[in-house]
Homo-oligomer: A and B are copies of this chain.
Amino acid sequence: MEDTEQGMEHRHAPLPDGVIDVETANVLAERLKMLSDPGRLRMIYALAEVDELCVGDLAASVGSSESATSHQLRQMRLGGLVRARKQGREVFYRIADTHVRQLLEVIAEHFLHGDPEH
């Protein structure tokens, strides 16, 4: 985490400090982290298909407890991935915006029908 001067005799490249600055990397990483859990991933792809699901159904679709699911959903909500709508005693979740939806599409497309290479 610090720059102790040792073992960096010669540089091989100009050390690109372009493309992604620290702050952007943080934001991007945080959002990707939300998608880096199998459960959350299945939830959000379920949402991508049906548009709206309540907590109970999401829990069932992932095979996890409703409490655990609620916790996960809160995270995703705070992370701006999903939005909640309360109707009666249940709460329906949906994907937050087109932005997120596009990211999902793009990732799925890439992994699901990308050329087989792994």
Contacts and interface: CB of A to CB of B under 8 A. Distances in A.
A75 interface: no
A8 to B, nearest CB: 5
A15 B21 CA distance: 41
Interface residues of A, number: 67
B41 A35 contact: no
B46 A26 contact: no
A114 B102 CA distance: 10
A25 B1 contact: no
A78 interface: no
A63 B21 CA distance: 12
Contacts of A27: 111
A86 B27 CA distance: 33
A41 B29 CA distance: 7
Interface in A9-35: 11-20, 22, 24-33, 35
A115 B102 CA distance: 11
Contacts of A64: 1
A20 B61 contact: no
Contacts of A111: 24, 27-28, 31
